[in-house]
Amino acid sequence: MTLNRALLLSAISGLAVVSAVPVHAQQQPAAVSQDPADTADDASGEDNEIVVVAESLRGQVQVAQPPIQVLDETDIAAYGASSIADLVAALAPQTGSGRGRSSGPPVFLVNGMRVSSFREMRSFPPEAIQKIEILPEEVAQKYGFSADQRLINFILKNNFSSRELEGEYSQPGAGGTSSKQVEATYLQIAGPSRFNVNAKWDDTSLLTEAERGLPQSVVSGVGTDPNPANYRSLVSDSSDLELTGNVTTRLGDNGSSLSLNGTYERGRTRSLSGLNTVTLTDPDNPDVSLLRTYGEDDPLARRGRTETMSVGSTLNAPMGDWQLTGTLDASRARSTTEIDRYADPAVLQDAVADGTLTYDGPLPTTADAGFDIAKTVTDSASSLVTVMGSPLFLPAGDVTLTLDAGYKWNRVQSQDTRNLGMETSLTRGDLSAGFNLGVPLTSRRDDVLSALGDISLNFTAGVDHLSDFGTLTDWTAGVTWGITEKLNLQASYITRDAAPGLSQLNSPEIVTLNVPTYDLARGETVLASIISGGNPNLTKEKQRDIRIGAFWDLPFLERSNISVEYFRNNSSDVSASFPLLTPAIEAAFPDRITRDITGQLVSIDQRPVTFESQKSSRLRFGLNLSGSLGKANPNASAGRNSPFAMARNAVSGGQAAGGQAGGAQAQAPAGGAAQGGVAGPGGGGFDQGRFAEFRQKLCAEGAQPDISAMPERMKENLLKPDGTIDQEKLAQAKQRICSSDGPQGNFDPARFAELRQRFCAPGSTEVPDLAALPEPLQANLRGADGKLDPEKFAQFKQRVCSNDGPGAGRQGGGFAGGPPPGGPASGPGAGAGGPPPGGPGGGGFRGPGGGGGDGRGRWFLNLNYTLELENEVQIAEGLPVLDLLDGDALSGSGVVRHSAQLVGGLFYRGFGMRYSASYSGPSRIDGTGLPGSTDLHFGSLAKVDLRVFADLGQQASLTNSVPFLKGSRISLGVDNVFNSYRTVTDSNGDVPLRYQPGFLDPQGRSFSIEFRKMF
């Protein structure tokens, strides 16, 4: 063997050992490396290149559809969120589905696995997250979810521990009410095992209409009578206590795990409904009457108590190359509401009639009329089992298949003393089954019609049998076309049967008297009788939808993209709540409206109705931008690439060098993505002597290393919760660092850079001797005949040679471990195979990671704009079509044509800011045009929220003076910065009573302060 070849083998061997050992990584799913990070200095020369051979990140979802957005630790820190629940709320513009069918909140995975409910991780601190993937609706279907929900995958750190205490106070700028919140959280993550306890208390004080100066529809004729506005609430007095516990544990050594979670919540509310009223007539002059208000010592109120108990469980178990996941979620909610009765006005009227009381004099206290009680018990249980795997292999890649079966059960029991003898019990069971199939047709990686790019098909079908309604079916067909690594097109056709809601069908008929109702036909507010309940004649709704999307990864900014999506919804036999009473609705349902002989509205039957058809379409544009802020810190880069950082990565299984592993606080600016490779000269400060000394001590025969002398994060990774050494983790670390005593122990980055240049030269055909390579690398390069597989070696060579500059490494599956690109994954945290790295599905729809890991800050901006193209309803055959974008309406406000959401922020050296803005365009509701009728005009609304925060633990001078502030953060927030509200006017330019600003937004501009301490 020539010297050059020996040096080349030494370099390749060293690269294999320092990066990761693939066979070992497959046996230990938790021990894998992360995404590559940028180098410290973009201007460094070619000798400073970082060559990365990275594994597929543990828990990363590998599918044909690229992520909508990917966030690393530094990106997450820039949001300044205090919990995963807070973070999800901040991500709403990216996680909301644009399908337009009252799309629900996103659904969730943890480490690529379904969970029983959001309770399982909602209280986790964001510092525990290594990476977030936001994925489109088609990926949610693969995991057994519906086609109108996006998917969020939280990839947690392999080792993390924290104790957190948080307090927050907020109040409107106009005063009147305030909110307090105290929360305590404990979390421990040790590989596949997790333990979490959370306690939270919330309290909000009462806000009345008088504190917002709202006019009253009922005004006393005597000036000394109490003002009802003081006794009508806009914000209820409420408090809530919640306790949550979660535990996840490994079952055996095959990657199986079991999660259990439980939540107990208890709350109370009190709201005010005004005062008693009575009309008194002067006995000496019957033509003179006064409306009087009274009873300020005991105003009318509603008092509520709720108690909710929820439990959930998740089982994940590999079955060969298949993955079984079963979830169970159940809850019981009890609510009791006491509603004060109105006093009997006859007592006062009789007193005036017999002369013991003057009609305009002081009113005496009357007897308490008591209260009614409404009780509701809601029980629910759901279970879903999915089996995911790859049944066969096509030339373009693996065919993926998901089978699912589940059962949902709901029961609502209610009774109300206002409706004696009408105790109700509504029950529905839903037995479901379905499948999702993904078929790759072309592949650039496998050179199967590669000129066409990466094309894959997906097909989903399901059936539901409802115990109270019948059988429903649904199916979806879609195609994903990765034209290039940066441009991806998706199209789906969705057909679905939908049943009316349980209460829409079966609720009992109830008549509520004297409900204030605005009559558009006459331009007046009246007290009308409202009939509510169920309609057993509702039929099955048929939905036919189209979704087309284009996603382009910007070449000039990291992890940034532009998306354009088109949605078309078409439905027939639509079950809906009774719409806003407009002249068109009254003409369509004349038997539902009752008027007296003068034309005044008397009653409305508001039980659900069936529309003939409804169709809508919209365009949604998305822009996601992010980048680094400030100059790189060479010391941060050097620290990342030190021998101790490499050893730490070996221990933690590729955890971010700057991430928090067992600590309390993530040092975001210094903790970027994990290192997947080795720094060349001048780029990372690699000290071969120090590393060799460290390796010699660690790998000595029978040596028990001195834990106290190790770097803090490495020490935390090797210790059990009780403080003793975890021998299994120590053995894994030693195997990674000591598994070969050949030339890789003397890895020379400078010589490797020189040899890489020759090895990767155009036309080079030099092939290493397979037997001279480390055994794990041999296993990856060996073919079925035991010899070097030319195709595998060509791919390996491409990996080593494809990095054209600093930070050019890509994440994704490869020879360094994890599932091969496009191949099935094994272990609890792996998904099915995907497209090539850097293209759709492999490295995600982003570029290489970077920014923040070298001491730089982070900025981001996310914008979504929606343009409604069409929204029409056919009430019944033969009736005019209602155009909801042109004055017709089904609800209390028109449909807006233009809307937008913006979220942005930055984080630099411990200081951060997050801002969000929303815009909703104008709309209108047309009246009849006849005398007395009026149009309603809804103005546009733009709201801006702002939050600034400081990680005090990163301010060394401050923590040196006040050590308690280590691991703490303070945040200041302003919601509705400009105190904006929507202006609603009638045809005369007046604001109707129900649309007064205080009713639309009682809080207005509000301020908050939060202090968070992690121990």
352-363 pLDDT per residue, tens:
998 899 999 999
Contact (Cβ atoms closer than 8 angstroms) between residue 61 and residue 140: no
pLDDT, position 231? 94
Q: Identify which of 76-80, 138-142, 236-240 has the greatest average pLDDT.
A: 236-240
Q: Please give the Cα distance from 57 to 654 (Å, whole number).
A: 9
What is the percent of the chain with per-residue pLDDT over 70, rounded to a whole number?
A: 73
Q: Please give the Cα distance from 344 to 336 (Å, whole number).
A: 25
Beta-sheet pairing, 677-678 with 601-605? unpaired
Beta-sheet pairing, 151-156 with 107-110? parallel
- In 731-844 the beta strands, taken as DSSP E runs, fall at none
In tens, the pLDDT along 271-300 reads: 999 999 999 999 889 889 999 999 999 999
Token pair, residue 350, equals 């009789």
In tens, the pLDDT along 476-521 reads: 999 999 999 899 999 999 999 999 988 888 888 878 777 878 887 8
Beta-sheet pairing, 487-498 with 424-442? unpaired
Contact (Cβ atoms closer than 8 angstroms) between residue 198 and residue 184: yes
Residue 576 has pLDDT above 70, yes or no: yes
pLDDT, position 394? 94
- DSSP-based three-state secondary structure for 670: helix
Residue 27 has pLDDT above 50, yes or no: no
**Alpha carbon separation from 1002 to 208, 213, 986, 995 (Å, rounded):** 9, 11, 21, 12
Give 102's contacts (C-beta < 8 A, 6+ positions apart). none
Q: Please give the Cα distance from 127 to 339 (Å, whole number).
A: 45
Q: Identify any residues that bridge with 941 across adjacent strands, giving them in sequence order.
A: 920
pLDDT, position 779? 63
Contact (Cβ atoms closer than 8 angstroms) between residue 520 and residue 927: yes
Q: Please give the Cα distance from 63 to 73 (Å, whole number).
A: 22
pLDDT, position 223? 87
pTM of the predicted model as reported, rounded to 2 decimal places: 0.74
CA-closest candidate to residue 50, choices 453, 637, 812: 637
Contact (Cβ atoms closer than 8 angstroms) between residue 684 and residue 38: no
pLDDT, position 134? 94
pLDDT, position 512? 79
For residue 297, how many other CB atoms are within 10 A of its CB? 7
- In 444-586 the beta strands, taken as DSSP E runs, fall at 454-466, 470-482, 487-498, 510-519, 524-532, 541-553, 561-576
**Alpha carbon separation from 901 to 736, 898, 904 (Å, rounded):** 47, 11, 10
Under the banding of pLDDT at 50, 70 and 90, the label for residue 93 is confident
In tens, the pLDDT along 883-929 reads: 999 988 887 778 999 999 999 999 998 999 999 999 999 999 887 66
pLDDT, position 101? 73
Beta-sheet pairing, 159-172 with 69-72? unpaired
Tell me how far apart the terminal alpha carbons of the chain are, to the nearest angstrom: 57
In tens, the pLDDT along 292-331 reads: 999 999 999 999 999 999 999 999 999 988 999 999 999 9
Burial 210-249 (b: 16+ CB within 10 A, else e): bbbebeeeeebebeebbbbbebbbbbbbbebebebbbbbe
Under the banding of pLDDT at 50, 70 and 90, the label for residue 690 is low
Under the banding of pLDDT at 50, 70 and 90, the label for residue 710 is low
Residue 948 has pLDDT above 90, yes or no: yes
CA-closest candidate to residue 662, choices 594, 723, 745, 728: 723
Q: Please give the Cα distance from 343 to 364 (Å, whole number).
A: 12
- DSSP-based three-state secondary structure for 142: helix
Positive/negative CA dihedral, 214, 217, 222, 227:
negative
Please state the rounded mean pLDDT for residues 707-726.
64
Please state the rounded mean pLDDT for residues 680-688.
43
436, 441, 447, 451: CA torsion to nearest 10: -130
Residue 801 has pLDDT above 90, yes or no: no
Q: Please give the Cα distance from 20 to 814 (Å, whole number).
A: 11
pLDDT, position 849? 36
Q: Please give the Cα distance from 883 to 290 (Å, whole number).
A: 45
Beta-sheet pairing, 193-204 with 179-190? antiparallel
Under the banding of pLDDT at 50, 70 and 90, the label for residue 465 is very high
Under the banding of pLDDT at 50, 70 and 90, the label for residue 656 is very low
- DSSP-based three-state secondary structure for 110: strand
Positive/negative CA dihedral, 84, 807, 911, 656:
positive
Residue 36 has pLDDT above 80, yes or no: no
CA 160 to chain centre: 22
Residue 827 has pLDDT above 90, yes or no: no
pLDDT, position 793? 73
**Alpha carbon separation from 17 to 393, 649, 688, 711, 769 (Å, rounded):** 31, 12, 15, 20, 17
Residue 970, H or E segment: strand 968-975
**Alpha carbon separation from 544 to 332, 570, 611, 856 (Å, rounded):** 35, 5, 16, 48
pLDDT, position 683? 38
Q: Identify any residues that bridge with 403 across adjacent strands, giving them in sequence order.
A: 387, 435
The helix-helix angle for 643-652 and 688-699 (nearest 10°) equals 40
When comparing pLDDT for 964 and 2, which is higher? 964
